[in-house]
Structure 1
Amino acid sequence: MRFFKLSLIAAASFIAVSASAQAGDCVRVSALGDGLTHDLAVVMSTHGLANIIENKGRKGSGKIQTTCAPAAFLTECRSTQLACK
């Protein structure tokens, strides 16, 4: 039983080190988009995000998170995503 516990701890430590090594090569990228309508602002921010990630030579990883807020005359949206090499 003790051997099983030690093996489990060693495996968990190895997985944690592997995950942190992969996470070190990733960055969170953000883009803003403005538009007359909510839908147009979302499109501008998500497409801008895709362009930034591509120009940095990275690939998007995970779900794109978008938040929007009304501005003076336009709607402003911010999209963020994790991008890895």
Structure 2
Amino acid sequence: MAPVFPTAIAWLTRHHPAPQRANSVLLVAGMTGSTVLPALVIVVAQVTTARGMPCLLASLAVLIAPAALLARRATSRAGG
């Protein structure tokens, strides 16, 4: 995650119409994710078998995909 995060901030600054607000949302989302995801992984590991972890990761990918598509659409509208 370390090399991706600064790149995402630079990308947002260049392509988003309101980079200050977008960067603050990105920072809050990053902090929230780094707090919530480890706890979620621990809960899933305690409650389910080893088969539960791939299901958790697949669910996260399905939930994150729309956000990635929205970011791509917003970038294409902004001329990036």
The answer to whether TM tops 0.5 is no
Q: Which protein has the larger Cα radius of gyration, Structure 1 or Structure 2? A: 1
Relative to its length, the structure with more strand (as a share) is 1
**TM-score of the aligned structures, taking structure 1 as reference length:** 0.30
**TM-score of the aligned structures, taking structure 2 as reference length:** 0.31
